[in-house]
């Protein structure tokens, strides 16, 4: 049984170092081709006809005029007459033409008749939603009535956040090309190994006939797992036209339909003892996630308050389809909980750091991690020096306040297969049907392979982004780094062991007496006895070594990857925010993010993930909102001028600190994509309040 465990701290040559992402130069210089850049010979462009109504039945579709437009080569009806439309922007017909402009012009010539139906697009409270309000079951733990009666202090408040979108840098979409019954799809997807099956089902061809290619992609954040209606339509257009077709969503369509994050609003009551011990929680929450009800949100967040009562109502609206948004539900729940707890601390007149530490036991098994992170974050933001009770007494119209937030996430690895080939010329390939969303997956795989084989980073060729490579999971829920780390470690260890077994006889030792270090195969404890990597590989003759490794989640206790990866992280963020009390304009001045994620493979890309998460959090805390018009049922800001995102000048100073070393490293690799975005958005609203209260009104 091979030993796959990670090398000990002193024996890591690459793992945990600060390594620049391998594809940085080709991305920043524009040499690498994204799906958007795909340009196949003879390729057509697809555009779609979208419903202008939020809820309607399609009565008839006439494509005659569109088919006669210049350059049009194929028209595909995506939703037949009789189908119900559930949001404005839903796709009805797709058109392929020689140029994008011709396709756009032709799409406007399609005549669709609708029967308009009543809609609701506004994020209203249940009382204003009529039969679209769907109450979930009430949940109770402990004895909240008694706990509130006995509470020495209670605080009430209402908190919430709007529906926002994913707003990926690269829009959704794909290029498709047929060769007989075989389809190649260049897709901007988080799920290279998985979406082929969806295309196959939609097109009624065997799954094995679909090949998906995603060498690089421009972000997904949870919104790019499926083939999508436009993916299947694109392939249908290509089939009809007998030519490749590319159909990417326009920015407005992207913001209208390519994913929304549900809103949440809650009336919260929290009870506590005067010493700051939290004893009771009650919340009445509501929100909209489109036409689905979803579940009951798991409030309160992170803190397992002993006595709780929670009621939630889903409001069904035609805002568009909900898709998983980086750490689904956590940012919303975090905002509600942290805002309420900070209000409690203010009412108690206690420093919130002190109150959070006092109740840290309620965070469960991560409580020690949180305590350490709270102290580190407080130190980095100079909490003791800067914190003041609510109401900034400083003169002037700019008032400042500090805030604090805790978050958690799982991040265990997904199933993954890796194939490692060691060629007689000494070159090494590792291949996985995984994808790099921009997070650094490619770099992490290379680091692990190189570390395992004792080679420099550039000696390893990483093959990902092709469904012909061994199956690997979709990139969701921060599962990728765990999945690919374990499978790569196993595949490369297996390959190395085969090589060592072949070398051992000529060196006159047993296999386990050999090691691969610094580009050499040598006898442990006797480095002079050995040979270079190249010399060793040359002895393979004409037969390369091919080995595989697997991360399986189906055998958690068996010979799985549990020795390499785990799950469950905590993070603490603190922010300093300034508000202009005459204009209400809020500015983030400084944000400190302290995060653990087990053993870090690449410190630089890990920090980069946290920076990105913080920026995304600042965007939705301060600016983002999918603005819907009840009269027309439409999204009014499907553009980059009124769907507001922070620019560099709006972000403020970000300080990232990763918790590493003893106590963290031995947990193995844990995912990091989701955690850092959760708290950042929760930080600002309370901070504004903290600055404003008694300081003036906006």
Please select the residue that binds other proteins; options are 57, 154, 367, 632, rule is CB under 8 A.
632
Nearest approach in angstroms of CB 54 to other proteins is 13
30 binds other proteins (CB under 8 A): no
623 binds other proteins (CB under 8 A): yes
Cα torsion at 502, 508, 512, 516 (round to 10°)?
-70
644 binds other proteins (CB under 8 A): yes
Closest to other proteins by CB, 95 vs 499, is 95
Nearest approach in angstroms of CB 294 to other proteins is 25
Strand stretches in 200-287, DSSP E: 210-213, 245-248, 260-261, 264-272, 278-287
**Region from 202-210, 373-381, 429-437, 629-637 binding other proteins, contact rule CB under 8 A:** 629-637
**Region from 59-67, 265-273, 433-441, 625-633 binding other proteins, contact rule CB under 8 A:** 625-633
646 binds other proteins (CB under 8 A): yes
Nearest approach in angstroms of CB 165 to other proteins is 16
Closest to other proteins by CB, 102 vs 487, is 102
Closest to other proteins by CB, 84 vs 630, is 630
Closest to other proteins by CB, 647 vs 662, is 647
Nearest approach in angstroms of CB 650 to other proteins is 5
Cα torsion at 386, 616, 14, 502 (round to 10°)?
150
Nearest approach in angstroms of CB 644 to other proteins is 6
**Region from 155-163, 241-249, 563-571, 646-654 binding other proteins, contact rule CB under 8 A:** 646-654
Tokens of 147: 């706990």
Tokens of 8: 């000990």
DSSP code per residue over 293-342: ------PSPS---SEEEEEEEEE---S--B---SSTTHHHHHHHHHHHHH
CA 428 from centroid of its chain's CA atoms: 30
Within 583-612, the residues that bind other proteins by CB under 8 A are 583-585, 587
d(CA 470, CA 486): 14
Question: Contact letters (x/-) for other proteins, 244-263, by CB under 8 A?
Answer: --------x-----------
Please select the residue that binds other proteins; options are 101, 145, 156, 512, rule is CB under 8 A.
101
Q: Which bin fits 568, alpha (ψ -120 to 50), beta or left (φ > 0)? A: left
d(CA 315, CA 287): 6
Q: How many chain residues interact with other proteins (CB under 8 A)?
A: 30
Closest to other proteins by CB, 99 vs 158, is 99
Closest to other proteins by CB, 554 vs 631, is 631
User: Helix or strand or coil: residue 693?
Assistant: coil
Question: Contact letters (x/-) for other proteins, 523-562, by CB under 8 A?
Answer: ----------------------------------------
630 binds other proteins (CB under 8 A): yes
Closest to other proteins by CB, 105 vs 254, is 105
In contact, 324 and 300? CB cutoff 8 Å: no
**Region from 210-218, 321-329, 416-424, 634-642 binding other proteins, contact rule CB under 8 A:** 634-642
Please select the residue that binds other proteins; options are 32, 208, 636, 694, rule is CB under 8 A.
636
Nearest approach in angstroms of CB 633 to other proteins is 11
395 binds other proteins (CB under 8 A): no
Nearest approach in angstroms of CB 68 to other proteins is 15
**Region from 18-26, 258-266, 505-513, 576-584 binding other proteins, contact rule CB under 8 A:** 576-584
d(CA 60, CA 52): 15
Within 107-126, the residues that bind other proteins by CB under 8 A are 108
On the question of a cis peptide bond just before residue 300, with omega within 30 degrees of 0, the verdict is yes
In contact, 549 and 488? CB cutoff 8 Å: yes
User: Helix or strand or coil: residue 343?
Assistant: helix
**Region from 143-151, 289-297, 418-426, 578-586 binding other proteins, contact rule CB under 8 A:** 578-586
In contact, 600 and 606? CB cutoff 8 Å: yes
CA–CA distances in Å: residue 337 to residues 75, 285, 666: 50, 12, 31
Please select the residue that binds other proteins; options are 650, 660, 666, 693, rule is CB under 8 A.
650
Closest to other proteins by CB, 71 vs 364, is 71
Q: Find, among 60, 53, 49, the residue nearest to 83 by Cα.
A: 60
The CA R_g of the chain, rounded to the nearest whole Å, is 28
105 binds other proteins (CB under 8 A): yes
639 binds other proteins (CB under 8 A): yes
Q: Given the DSSP bridges, would you call strands 133-135 and 307-315 parallel, antiparallel or unpaired?
A: antiparallel
Neighbours of 294 (CB within 10 A): 17
CA 396 from centroid of its chain's CA atoms: 40
What's the longest Cα–Cα distance across the chain?
Answer: 83
Nearest approach in angstroms of CB 398 to other proteins is 13
**Region from 97-105, 432-440, 454-462, 672-680 binding other proteins, contact rule CB under 8 A:** 97-105
Neighbours of 345 (CB within 10 A): 25
Cα torsion at 667, 673, 678, 684 (round to 10°)?
120
Backbone angles phi, psi at 337, to 5 degrees: -70, -50
169 binds other proteins (CB under 8 A): no
- Chain residues in the site for other proteins (CB under 8 A): 101, 104-105, 108, 252, 582-585, 587, 622-623, 627-632, 634, 636-637, 639, 641-642, 644, 646-650
């Amino acid at each position: 049984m091979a030993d796959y465990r990670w090398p000990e701290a002193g024996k890591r040559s690459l793992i945990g170092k600060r390594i620049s992402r391998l594809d940085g130069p080709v991305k920043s210089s524009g040499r690498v081709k994204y799906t958007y850049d795909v340009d196949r010979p003879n390729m057509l462009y697809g555009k779609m006809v979208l419903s202008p109504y939020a809820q309607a039945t399609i009565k008839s579709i006439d494509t005659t005029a569109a088919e006669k437009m210049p350059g049009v080569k194929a028209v595909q009806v995506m939703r037949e007459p009789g189908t119900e439309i559930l949001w404005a922007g839903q796709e009805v017909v797709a058109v392929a033409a020689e140029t994008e402009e011709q396709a756009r012009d032709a799409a406007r010539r399609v005549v669709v008749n609708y029967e308009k139906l009543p809609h609701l697009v506004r994020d209203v409270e249940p009382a204003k939603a009529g039969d679209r309000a769907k109450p979930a079951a009430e949940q109770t733990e402990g004895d909240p009535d008694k706990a509130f009666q006995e509470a020495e202090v209670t605080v009430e408040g209402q908190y919430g956040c709007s529906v926002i979108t994913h707003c990926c840098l690269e829009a959704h979409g794909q290029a498709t090309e047929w060769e007989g019954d075989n389809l190649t799809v260049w897709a901007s997807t988080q799920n290279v190994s998985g979406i082929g099956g969806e295309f196959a089902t939609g097109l009624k061809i065997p799954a094995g006939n679909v090949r998906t290619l995603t060498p690089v992609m421009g972000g997904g954040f949870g919104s790019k797992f499926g083939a999508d209606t436009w993916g299947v339509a694109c392939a249908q257009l290509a089939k009809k036209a007998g030519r490749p077709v590319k159909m990417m969503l326009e920015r407005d369509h992207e913001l209208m339909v390519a994913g929304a994050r549900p809103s949440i609003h809650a009336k919260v009551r929290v009870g506590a003892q005067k010493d700051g011990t939290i004893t009771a929680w009650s919340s009445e929450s509501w929100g909209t996630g489109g036409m689905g009800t979803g579940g009951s949100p798991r409030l309160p967040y992170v803190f397992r308050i002993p006595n709780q009562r929670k009621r939630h109502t889903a409001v069904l609206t035609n805002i568009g389809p909900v898709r998983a948004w980086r750490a689904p539900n956590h940012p919303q729940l975090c905002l509600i909980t942290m805002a309420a707890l900070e209000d409690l601390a203010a009412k108690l007149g206690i420093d919130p750091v002190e109150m959070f530490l006092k109740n840290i036991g309620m965070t469960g098994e991560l409580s020690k991690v949180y305590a350490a992170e709270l102290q580190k974050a407080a130190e980095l933001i100079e909490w003791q020096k800067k914190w003041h009770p609510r109401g900034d007494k400083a003169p002037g119209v700019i008032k400042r306040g500090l805030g604090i937030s805790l978050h958690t996430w799982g991040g265990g690895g997904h199933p993954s297969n890796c194939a490692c080939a060691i060629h007689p010329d000494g070159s090494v390939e590792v291949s996985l049907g995984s994808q790099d969303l921009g997070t650094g997956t490619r770099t992490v795989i290379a680091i692990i392979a190189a570390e395992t084989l004792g080679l420099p980073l550039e000696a390893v060729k990483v093959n990902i982004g092709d469904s012909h490579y061994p199956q690997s999971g979709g990139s969701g829920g921060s599962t990728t780094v765990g999945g690919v780390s374990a499978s790569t470690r196993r595949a490369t260890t297996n390959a190395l062991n085969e090589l060592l077994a072949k070398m051992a006889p000529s060196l006159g030792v047993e296999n386990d007496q050999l090691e691969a270090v610094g580009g050499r195969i040598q006898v442990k404890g006797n480095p002079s006895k050995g040979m270079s990597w190249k010399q060793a590989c040359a002895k393979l003759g004409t037969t390369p070594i091919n080995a595989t490794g697997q991360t399986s989640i189906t055998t958690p206790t068996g010979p799985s990857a549990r020795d390499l990866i785990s799950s469950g992280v905590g993070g603490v963020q603190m922010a300093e925010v300034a508000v202009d009390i005459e204009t209400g304009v809020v500015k983030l001045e400084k944000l400190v993010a302290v995060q653990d994620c087990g053993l870090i493979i690449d410190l630089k890309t890990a920090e980069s993930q946290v920076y990105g998460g913080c920026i995304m959090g600042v965007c939705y805390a301060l600016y983002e909102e999918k603005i819907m018009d009840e009269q027309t049922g439409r999204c009014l800001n499907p553009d980059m001028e009124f769907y507001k995102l922070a620019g560099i000048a709006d972000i403020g100073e970000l300080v990232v600190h990763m918790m590493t070393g003893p106590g963290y490293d031995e947990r193995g690799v844990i995912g990091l994509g989701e955690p850092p975005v959760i708290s950042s958005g929760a930080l600002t609203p309370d901070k504004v309040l903290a600055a404003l209260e008694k300081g003036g009104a906006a």
